Amino acid sequence: MANFTEKAIRETFVELLNEYPLSQITVKMIVEKCGINRNSFYYHYQDIPELIEEMVLEETNRIVEEYPSIDSIETALKAAIDFASKYRKPILHIYNSVNRDIFERYLWNVCKYTVKSYADTTFEGVEVDPEDREMIERFYRCECFGVVLGWLNDNMNSDVYSQISRFCEVHKGIPEEMIRRCVEKNNK
């Protein structure tokens, strides 16, 4: 958990991201608004990209704790977008910056975790070739990642929760069919 100064820096940074694009935010702005000196910032963070990286890692860990098991692809998709919905403007400022890769790594890791958790629930007690399981997990990881990126590319203007619900409704039964085919292949 972050100490008092780190927490103040992070909160100030998010406030600034609500007002300005990432490219306009400087360490000077953060420390002046936060009421600390530059050395205090640099004691905790090398630069703003490191600050972003730390915040993203903390959020990824929070999601892992919040969703210890996932029983549906819908829950997996919603877990991947909940944080972005809460911090819409700051996320869009990071996503539309040169530091976009940091957010994409975060999103990839969240999708990877949530899909693996979903697969652990879905594959429980089923004998599936590890390569088949990895292929299925990779497919759903890419699906989750793509849904969220599409929403971000639309500046988060679409009703992504309705789209996820509809996708899952249309998609119902496909994971079970994939597993059935994998099991059938193993039994041949």
The domain ranges of the chain are 1-45, 64-186
Does the pLDDT of residue 170 top 70, yes or no? yes
pLDDT in tens, 17-34: 999 998 899 999 999 999
Q: Residue 21 is encoded by which pair of tokens?
A: 């694009």
Phi, psi torsion values for 164, nearest 5 degrees: -65, -45
Identify whether the C-beta of residue 55 lies closer than 8 Å to the C-beta of residue 20: no
The whole-angstrom separation of Cα 105 and Cα 120 is 22
| Selected residue with higher pLDDT from 169 and 77 | 169
Q: Which helix (H) or strand (E) holds 20?
A: none
pLDDT in tens, 35-94: 999 999 999 999 998 998 888 778 777 777 877 777 777 876 777 677 778 888 888 888
| Selected residue with higher pLDDT from 188 and 52 | 52
Q: Residue 161 is encoded by which pair of tokens?
A: 């929760």
Q: Which residue has the tokens 């692809």?
A: 73
Average the pLDDT over 99-115 and give the result.
84
pLDDT of residue 2: 57
Class of domain 1-45: mainly alpha
Residue among 58, 60, 56 at smallest CA distance from 100: 56
Average the pLDDT over 4-16 and give the result.
93
pLDDT of residue 1: 44
